[in-house]
Amino acid sequence: MRFQLPDKRYGREAEVWALLRAFERAATGASEIVLVSGWAGAGKSTLVEELGASLAARRGHLVAGKFDQYNRTVPFATLLRALDDLAQRVLGDGEGGDTAEWQERLYEALGEGTAILVETLPSARSMIGAPSSRSSAATSSSASSADSQARLEHALLRFLSVFACPEHPLVLFLDDLQWADDASLRFLLAVAGDPSIRNTLLIGAYRDQEVGPEHPVTAAKVALRQRGTRLEEIDLPPLGPEHLEAMIADALDASVGPEIQALAAEVHRRTRGNPFFVREFLRFLVQEGFIAEGAAADALAWDLAQIRTAPLPEDEVALIVREMRKLPAETQATLQIAACIGALFDVNDLAAARGTTAADALAALAQAQGKNLVMPADPRRRISAADGAPIPFRFLHDRVRQAAYELIGEDDLPRIRLLVGRRLYADARARGVIDEKLFEFVEHLNAGASLITCAAERDELARLDLAAGARAKARTAYDAAARYYATGAALALSGDDPTLLFALHLSRAECVYLRGQLDEAEALLVALPVPPRTSTEKAAVCRVRMAVRTTRGRAASAIEVGLDALAELGLDIPRDEAAAKILAEKEHARVRERLAARGLSVLAEGAPLEDPDKRAKLEILTNLLAPANLVRPALFSLCAAIQANISLEHGHADESIYGYMLYGMHLATSLGRYAEAGAFGKLALRLDERRGSAGEPCRLNFVYGSYAHFLEPIPDVLGYLRKAYRTGLATGDYIYLSYACSHIVLLRLALGDPLKDVDEEAERLLALMERTKVASSIAVQTLVRRILAALAGRTIDVRSLSGDGFDEDTFVASLRERGVHFALSWYRAARITLAFLNGDDEDVLVIAGEGGAGAWFYFATDAVYLTCLAAARLCAEGVSSSDEPYATFGRNAAHIAGWARACPANFAHKDLLLAAERARIAGDHAAAGPLYERAVEAAEAARLTPHVAVARERAAAFFRDRGDEARARIHVHGALDAYSRWGTDALGERVRQEHADLLLHEVITESETEARGRPVVVVPFALGALVAEVVLAVAPAFERTRDALRIEQPEELGFMESDESKVRWLLLRVFGGRALRPRPGSVAFRVRQGREGRLGDAPWVGFEVTDTDDTMDVVSMEDVASVCRELGGYLAVERGDFGARSTVVIPMFHMAPDG
């Protein structure tokens, strides 16, 4: 009889069921994330294998990656291997079409971002081909280090989205998250938060004993919960004795009895219920004869006392090491090298590292494979060493690899790693795959670097570390990059290449800065082992120093660093702001002279700038602009002008292009020279297009779009921002992409696009902003969604952003605490908008007086305009005792007039409306009327729906005050239509309330047209519904024109058979007519029903209207009496101390009138 452990899971039924449910949810809808935790050997990987049947049924894919305990510095390595495997499987299975079809799908998903994918993912080149012009923008060298990882992250997300679909759901399993690099963990959060990735189950497994409160995995879980992401957590506890009893009984094909229970208890004590250790321990007991054939030929027996007292291995690693030592020496050595390479290894790499052939390596592994220590990564695949194709193998378990690693003596490990590195490097060089294998062999070489004595080899490794650092930095794996640079710098210290040493040391300092360790970065910059010698090197050091100090909030100190560097290059700039202002004016004059002499179009064709000193000056000037803009406006103006002059005089450099754009922005926003500003902005965009893949279209289109409202219609401005968004996604310029996203939703709000559409885009962009981590953009998207809710009437108050779990005060306090100034500036503009649209004019002026950002972003110009209108209303109504409204109106109207001259498309309607308000305030009503009409027409032409509504409202108020109710009514309806198109029901309701009497007059007139002058048409109708309809129509007018309204009626009014249209008109005429003109006093409306009275015993309904104002034109009520008689009823009119009372009595069931 054999002891045969069954291929069966014990004690995991609930966990398997939870995982299967999560997969089914993900397969049919949005993505989900499951985190599986447990000790090493708890069966995390085995649990995931239970998805096999469900995956097969849905034709899904399972791809897995395993983070490496011993090689943890290679960024994205595990993730990239998993995605590469996914692509190879899809192509190998032939699903969804041929390679050409996959190319189109990927190009459609990634746009211009395919090049980064081809660079990073080997299988992508097979599917997409070499980078072409279609993807040139993706390789922009101008992207910052932070942007580069964002670019790769976006490309990988889009790549993932192509393969996951309802027909082929995807399971992405990443094991050993406790060893994951930060970049990979960030990507997992991005996958979980990307609404475009559907039909994907993301499973992460980790050892919970190695993940404490401060571990990145814990932080990731907190982030997921804060976002509201659905997170399923499955914990795998140790197996209980009862599970071991069942396992042993199944292995023996026997029933559980006392002997099996005793053995299970001892095994449980030894293994602590760890599933992997349990199985290995039972196998060990059989192999070592502790469980053997008993007296009966068909039974196995064991001596429990012997097992209890035997010196057996105390953990699974010791047990496996004991087994490995029984293998042939060649197999042991092969396993040691394989352990150095990774949990998953290619036999070809293993052969190269061993200095043997792939066939020899496979032969050595065969012994280990027979002992269940290693196995092919894909058991379905035929293994052949003949064709040179990859032959992936894996260790059966982490503990097996750990045991193989422990076979290497600690003192011998550096030597073996160095040997492995040298052989892998030589092999990569011979096969021309140095870039693809760079991280792998550099890791091994660095581990043995202390043993390298040859100066040439040390220099060569230093250069390899520089290359590896650059690649890690491009993936924003700053920790890994800094380690590569530090190792390389240590090697280069003993060499004779100062340029190499400088590059390594400065790059390390920059990576240390980028990971937020500012003190260490400053120390490294101070301790440069060789000083910068060229102007280019000096500019590079200056850039990092300024970045560190600006990040610390020390803008003035950063400026001093920049000015010192410029002085060292021969460009002295005044430290005094007043002197800088004087010199700036001279530099601006020089720009104008050059333009007058040659013209910007001629200068655009100038030669490139080759002088490295002048290029260095341009770089430093560019880096000075950000801190100067914060604290030194005159210096900002001077630097922008000097940049322009250097470029115009000596030729264009890459730095010139951004300089031109910033100069244009300065001309527009500070000097009001809009035509020149537009010319410089367009020049920058044109020159950048010529740079092709080296360009920075995202940043430039954003900056131009941020001031182009002074030059072009808002819909066209939105086009520049959309381009910034598209190219930012492609190039990974996530900073300016985020800024563009903020302005996109703000401009859509200004355009008056339907609130629902803007909210949907803001929701999508907010998910993207959660990935870019730009605080101001996250805040803006959040605030936009709240103001949209307020405009739609979905907050606790029309002027509040709170509601749906959002607390406005808490959120804004957080923005102030964190210094998120741009979002606070827009929040101030949003408060002005809400206050104005709800008629709180005095509050508008108070908020405007709080100060804020300069009025050059479009939202700020809108705030200037609405503040001016609020001041105009206060002036016209004469309710303010202060002169401030008049001063505010004059000051802001002058700004609007200047902007209207520059760009009539965006500001002419505002200027016209303010001119109308000015004429109204002055009492020039003859001039005001036509100006209001022209303002409305101009707003309609500008396609700015909110401004159409505002202009219509102001026109309606003017014509109403002048007694022209017909024209007022036209503009009221125009305002209602604009608010309806905008989706702002709450504002539409306010307009209805304010003009309820105008609208009621129209309702009564339309009802009279429908009801009078035709025969009676009897139909059954619900009387209660009719009364409610009329009350709803007339009550707002009463609120505007009378002191109080009281309504009394029975709870149930039943059905009535009469002419519904005529009854409706009677109610509107008798009841609603009392609300058409403002009068003192109150009105009571009472509905009564009965059977006695002038109508005999027929059931009747009476509508009684009592008005404390006793003035009533009896003759005008004759039309009411006539209709009452048509319906078989009558009208009664009374006067007395109570005032005037009109009562309409009509039979509930129509009776033809007498006579």
pLDDT confidence band for 1111 (50 / 70 / 90) = low
Q: Give the residue among 213, 153, 204, 200 at the shortest CA–CA distance from 179.
A: 204
* 17-70: pLDDT as tens digits: 999 999 999 888 878 899 998 888 788 888 888 888 888 888 888 888 888 776
Position 1154 confidence tier, pLDDT thresholds 50, 70, 90: low
- Which residue is listed with tokens 């720009």? 591
**Tell me, what DSSP letter sits at residue 752?**
T
Residues in the chain: 1155
pLDDT at 125: 64
Q: What is the CATH number of domain 696-819?
A: 1.25.40.10
DSSP 905-926: HHHHHHHHHHHHHHHHHHT-HH
DSSP state string for 101-142: HHHHHHHHHHGGGHHHHHHH-HHHHHHH-S--GGGGGGG-TT
Domain locations in the chain as residue ranges: 13-235, 241-312, 314-408, 555-692, 696-819, 820-894, 903-994, 1000-1147
CB 417 within 8 A of CB 449: no
Express each pLDDT in 1080-1098 by its tens digit.
Answer: 888 999 999 988 788 888 8
Q: What pLDDT score does 147 carry? A: 54
What is the percentage of the chain residues whose pLDDT exceeds 90?
A: 35
What confidence tens digit (pLDDT) does each residue in 506-540 have? 999 999 988 778 889 989 998 889 889 889 899 98
Residue pLDDT, tens place only, 743-784:
999 999 999 999 999 999 998 888 888 777 778 888 889 999
pLDDT at position 222? 84
Question: Which of the 8 DSSP states describes residue 671?
Answer: I
Which conformational region is residue 97 in: left (phi greater than 0), alpha (psi within -120 to 50 degrees), or beta?
Answer: left
pLDDT at 111: 64
Instruction: Give the pLDDT band (50/70/90) at residue 488.
Output: very high
Give the mean pLDDT of 710-729.
91
Outline where 925-1058 has alpha helix (H): 925-942, 945-961, 965-982, 985-994, 996-1011, 1023-1041
SS3 category, 206 = strand
Check whether 385 has a pLDDT greater than 70.
Answer: no
CATH topology of 696-819 equal to that of 903-994? yes
Q: Determine the pLDDT at residue 879.
A: 66
Q: How does pLDDT run across 387-436, given as a tens digit for each residue?
A: 667 888 988 887 888 888 888 877 888 988 898 889 889 888 988 888 88
Rounded Cα distance, 1065 and 1060, in Å: 9
Of 30-44, 114-128, 695-709, 847-861, least confident by mean pLDDT is 114-128
Average pLDDT, stretch 1-23? Answer: 85
CATH of domain 1000-1147: 3.30.565.10
Q: Which CATH superfamily is domain 13-235 in?
A: P-loop containing nucleotide triphosphate hydrolases (3.40.50.300)
For residues 458-471, give the mean pLDDT. 94
Residue range 281-291: average pLDDT?
A: 85
Residue-level pLDDT at 855 = 59
Q: Is pLDDT of 81 > 50?
A: yes
Weakest-pLDDT range from 44-58, 138-152, 762-776, 1021-1035? 138-152
Q: Which residues contact 234 (CB under 8 A, 6 or more apart)?
A: 15, 18, 19, 34, 35, 36, 37, 47
- CB < 8 Å & 24+ apart, contacts of 695-698: 695/137, 695/140, 695/142, 696/140, 696/142, 696/143, 696/657, 696/658, 696/731, 696/733, 697/137, 697/723, 697/724, 697/727, 697/731, 698/724, 698/725, 698/727, 698/728, 698/731, 698/733, 698/736, 698/737, 698/740
User: End-to-end distance of the chain based on CA atoms, in angstroms?
Assistant: 116
> What pLDDT is stored for residue 1085 in this prediction?
93
Q: What percent of the chain has pLDDT over 70?
A: 91
What pLDDT, on a 0 to 100 scale, did the predictor assign at position 914? 97
As a whole number of angstroms, the distance between CA 714 and CA 703 comes to 15
pLDDT at 1114: 47
Tell which residue, 1147, 993, 1007, 1017, has the closest CA to residue 1071: 1007
Q: What are phi and psi of 531, to 5 degrees?
A: -70, 155
Q: How far is CA 481 from the centre of its chain?
A: 27
CATH no. of 903-994:
1.25.40.10
Per-residue pLDDT for 459 more than 90?
yes
What architecture (CATH level 2) is domain 314-408?
A: Orthogonal Bundle (1.10)
Token representation of residue 602: 């001629």
For 715-726, what is the mean pLDDT?
Answer: 93
What pLDDT sits at residue 1086? Answer: 94
